[in-house]
A and B are shown apart, each in its own frame.
Chain A
Amino acid sequence: MVYWDHAASTPPYDEVVQTMAEVMKKHYGNPSSIHRMGEDAAKLLKRAREVCAASLGVKPSEIVWTSGATEGNNMAIKGAAMQYAGRGKHIVTTSIEHPSVYDSCLALERRGYEVTYLPVDDKGRVEPAQVASAVRKDTILVSIMHVNNETGAVQPLEDIGRAVKESNPLTVFHIDGVQGFGKLPVRLEAWKADLYTLSAHKIRGPKGTGILYKRDGVNLHPLFTGGKQESGMRAGTENIPGIVAMSKAMRMAGEQTETFMTQVGAMRDELMAWIRTQPSLELNSYEEGAPHIVNMSFPGMKAEVLLHSLEEHGALVSTKSACSSKTAEPSKVLLAMGRGADAASSAVRISMGLTNTHEELQQLIRALSDAVNRLQPLRQEGMK
């Protein structure tokens, strides 16, 4: 089996697994305890915070531990919405966000907030000028992802950040950075990011851990109440082994960004070049996108069919994003990019990492070629 689903989750680094096990076995003390074992756990937590902050080029005090991106995005969006409701109740986001952003916005709409969902162009990008005109005096939050999880489209964050702050300096700018870290340079200061979500298991760290970067000066209404962990931002005993292991994964992934861009990017280019030679396949990813995601449609054929025939050849890929792939609806992201229902229902995502090899890529291309040839005659026009 070859794993081509790195955008869904990644194989952890060996060092991460080892760290996790060692810390879990040795440091089971609660960092809030004031005895020696508690102090030791607190020391690990402090160091992990410094390591994570250094990977992002921010201050340790600006790191909030979370259980992953869904929590981070909820904390950012609902937390900012509740905190700054006095300033206004308008939120700007895009039509291609991850469900943890999109559904959080829907939930806020039901509670009296107004949400503007910005369109994207045919490559899946938001126009900064549209952000500028969408942000109003009562806009409290703009939430835009760095890299789209289905297509790999990259948003022009520097221009967007400028547009947000020029239109309304008080508006909080949140970036869902889950698919970007370790794959592309991250420049929180240049992007004028106030909040930035990360998940450890997307960067070869453990599941169940993540980070919300919260710029000093930005306040969020906490979602969890209880103990005073994270300065009251997030109650709950810290996941020490997960957090230490995550800090290791962040450091390693951060340091490998350039290698990732060249090596994985080369594989992606090769795969995209082959897809372009296939008349029955339509590419939904672009050179300007992230180096690890290739999305393509096989119009007339349900995505699951292609996925299953690739699995027979030992290649594991995804339809849409893993989070929404069990629902039968067409991809919202592709529809937003102006693709037809046909293309949006037949899309397959191949996402890769540094653990994939060139030989594996050749196998994948052969498997794709075989499946496409076999399924070609069975396509249905206007399949819904």
Chain B
Amino acid sequence: MKYDMLLLRFGELTLKGRNRNRFENTVLKHVKSVLRPFPAATIEKEYGRLYIVLNGEDSNAMIKELKKVFGLYSVSPVIVCPSELDAIVETSTSFLKQMPLKEGTTFKVSARRVWKKFPHSSHEMNHLVGSPLLNEFEQLKISMKDPELDLRIEIRETGTYIFCEVIPAVGGFPRGSNGKAMLLLSGGIDSPVAGYSAMRRGLEVEAVHFYSYPFTSRKAKEKVMELAKVLSGYAGRIKIHLVPFTEIQTSFTTVGQDNLIITLMRRSMLRIATMLAEREGALAIVTGDSLGQVASQTLPSMNVIGRATDLPLLRPLVTMDKNEIMDIAKEIGTYDLSILPYEDCCTLFVPKSPTTNPNLHVVERIEASLENLPAMLEDAVRRTESVVLTPRSVIETDREEETIQEDWF
């Protein structure tokens, strides 16, 4: 069907009193950026809603992009007709002709007279439009309570909007509207999903990745940057901090407590992330932890590891099952990258039986025995490379060009 407009609804942010304006403007900016490929479309703002006038642009392609906009709750494709009774009945009829109606589809008309000079009241309009439709479509069954098809008619001075579909969008809060957090981004399936979930809830996220060259390959680092690039598609841009972790990691292999290596590593990662958070003005750390998934994500491990930072640790996936996380990863486009088989530092030096129940005192004693540890942490932060990625960033440009000579293909 050829639609004239899209109606976009904001969600729970309309509850947020004084902040509403700021939130709505953020969403508006985000909508504008995803509409860049549709130059003919124009945007109109109204209380609690946005309208996109399509001007001939493809509504399906646009809805696909709008589903990435945080803070948008739903989208309805709208047909516009003149605010006259005959035109409204006629347009409603042709609207319904295109819907997949079955025998006994329950139905109602919900008219709303916004323009009070229109001669018929909302209540009258429900009948004036509803009865000719019931005559025309015998398969329809009227139902006031929770009908399958709710034909909405909004009568305004400039024209009447007719729609019935309400396509759910991604929801959440406008991007960046709830402050900034650091995301521990490994190459796995979970952490990008955690990052996405945090972003959806209005957090601005900066990614922190630890690499242990030469124990991990450059490909592992490239892969993480590709993942961050996918996330930047939702955020517009994302900053990623690449932290050299080799020295710290190898120093833990010398203490003779192999089953605690992961615990010690995770604590150091949190300390570095905390230092970076202070530098960047972030107020929390987001991780992909999911309760019980691996040894470092048992409750005792989370307890001992989490004590390494004073910042709130946000764990969006903590109660989710692996298959739920994988479904989101596929949906947001990180899954295929995550399963590329490059080893990252979290899988290095993994002991045969990592502890699921670390002892805080033992861990603290080991850390105290490593005199150089604080200096190494600071050194790692100093040597951290920070890169800003956007959806258009090219990772490893120079080498790609060197390898692939276009005239060979």
Complex CA–CA separation, A23 to B405 (angstroms): 10
Q: In whole Å, how far is A362's beta carbon from the nearest beta carbon of chain B?
A: 36
1/0 contact trace for B394-409 toward A, CB 8 Å? Answer: 0000001001110111
Asked whether A43 is an interface residue with its Cβ less than 8 Å from the other chain, the reply is yes
Tell me the minimal C-beta distance from A59 to chain B in angstroms: 13
Contacts of A43 in B (CB 8 A): 400, 403-404
| B45 at the binding interface (Cβ < 8 Å) | no
Binding-face segment, A44-52, A102-110, A129-137, A142-150: A44-52
Cα–Cα, bound, A15→B407 (Å): 8
Assuming the contacts A34-B217, A39-B219, A40-B403, asked whether A23 and B408 have C-beta atoms less than 8 A apart, the reply is yes
Instruction: List the B side residues contacting A48 at CB < 8 Å.
Output: 409
Name the contact of B409 in the complex, choosing from A27, A34, A39, A47 (C-beta under 8 A). A47
- In the complex, the chain A residue whose C-beta lies closest to that of B217 is A34
Closest residue on chain B to residue A39 by CB atoms: B219
| A44 proximity list for chain B (CB < 8 A) | 403-404, 408
Number of B residues, CB within 8 Å of A: 9
Tell me, in angstroms, the Cα distance from A251 to B404 when the chains sit together.
Answer: 16
Measured between beta carbons, the chain A residues less than 8 angstroms from B408 are: 19, 22-23, 44, 244-245, 248
Q: Chain B residues near A27 (CB, 8 Å)?
A: 403
Task: Please indicate the chain A residues that have their CB under 8 angstroms from the CB of B407 in the complex.
Answer: 15, 19
B400 lies within 8 A of A247 (CB): no
Complex-state Cα separation, A44 to B219, whole angstroms: 16
Q: Given the interface contacts A34-B217, A39-B219, does A248 sit within 8 Å of B409 by beta carbon?
A: yes
Total number of A residues with any Cβ neighbor in B under 8 Å? 18
Contacts of B405 in A (CB 8 A): 22
Closest Cβ of chain B to A51, distance in Å, is 5
For chain A, residues 251 to 267, give those with C-beta under 8 angstroms from any C-beta of chain B: 251
Interface of B, helix, strand, loop or mixed by DSSP: helix
Give A26 Cβ to nearest chain B Cβ, in Å: 9
Chain A, range 26-74, C-beta contacts under 8 Å to B? 27, 34, 39-40, 43-44, 47-48, 51
B225 to chain A, nearest CB (A): 15
Give the residues from 368 to 406 in chain B that come closer than 8 angstroms, CB to CB, to chain A.
400, 403-405
- Contacting residues, chain B, for A40 (C-beta < 8 A): 403
Q: Write out the residue numbers on chain A whose beta carbons fall within 8 Å of the beta carbon of B403.
A: 27, 40, 43-44
Cα A51 to Cα B403 in complex, Å, equals 16
8 Å CB contact of B404 from A19, A47, A245, A248: A47
A15 to B406, CA, bound (A): 12
Contact B404 A247 (CB under 8 A): no
**Closest Cβ neighbor of B406 among chain A residues:** A47
Which chain B positions have C-beta within 8 A of A39? 219
Evaluate contact between B217 and A247: CB separation under 8 angstroms: no
Chain B's closest residue to A47 (CB) is B404
Bound complex: CA A47 to CA B400 (Å): 11
B217 CB contacts on chain A under 8 angstroms: 34
Residues of B within 8 Å of A51, CB to CB, are 409
Q: In whole angstroms, how far apart are the Cα atoms of A228 and B377 in the complex?
A: 41
| Contact A244 B219, beta carbon cutoff 8 Å | no
Chain B residues positioned under 8 Å from A251 (CB to CB)? 409
A244 to chain B, nearest CB (A): 5
Docked-complex contact B409 and A247, CB < 8 angstroms: yes
Closest to B404 in A: A47
Instruction: Kindly identify, within residues 219 to 266 of chain A, every residue whose CB is under 8 Å from any CB belonging to chain B.
Output: 244-245, 247-248, 251
Q: Please give, as numbers and ranges, the residues of chain B lying within 8 Å of A22 by CB-CB distance.
A: 405, 408
In angstroms, Cα B400 to Cα A19, docked, is 17
Determine the distance from Cα of A39 to Cα of B222 in the docked complex, in whole angstroms: 12
- Nearest neighbor of A22 in chain B, beta-carbon distance: B408
B404 to chain A, nearest CB (A): 6
Once the chains are docked, how many angstroms separate the CA of A244 from the CA of B408? Answer: 7
Chain B 208-224 interface 0/1 with A at a Cβ cutoff of 8 Å (1 = within)? 00000000010100000
B219 CB → nearest A CB, Å: 7
Which residue, B217, B404, B407, B409, has most C-beta atoms of chain A within 10 A? Answer: B409
B170-223 CB contacts (< 8 Å) to partner A:
217, 219
**Residue of B219, B405, B408, B409 ringed by the most chain A CB atoms within 10 A:** B408
For A27, A39, A251, the residue with the greatest tally of chain B CB atoms inside 10 Å of its CB is A39
Interface 1/0 per residue, A252-289 and B, CB below 8 Å: 00000000000000000000000000000000000000
By beta carbon, the residue of chain B nearest A245 is B408
Q: How far is the CB of A43 from chain B (nearest CB, A)?
A: 5
Determine the chain A residues whose CB is within 8 A of the CB of B219 once the complex forms.
34, 39
- In the assembled complex, how far is the CB of residue A21 from the closest CB belonging to chain B, in whole angstroms? 11
Q: Which residues of A contact B404 (CB under 8 A)?
A: 43-44, 47
Q: Which residues of A contact B (CB under 8 A)?
A: 15, 19, 22-23, 27, 34, 39-40, 43-44, 47-48, 51, 244-245, 247-248, 251
User: What are some 28 contacts across the A-B interface (CB < 8 A)?
Assistant: A15-B407, A19-B407, A19-B408, A22-B405, A22-B408, A23-B408, A27-B403, A34-B217, A34-B219, A39-B219, A40-B403, A43-B400, A43-B403, A43-B404, A44-B403, A44-B404, A44-B408, A47-B404, A47-B409, A48-B409, A51-B409, A244-B408, A244-B409, A245-B408, A247-B409, A248-B408, A248-B409, A251-B409
Other A-B pairs, 7, CB within 8 Å; known A15-B407, A44-B404: A19-B407, A27-B403, A34-B219, A47-B404, A244-B409, A247-B409, A248-B408
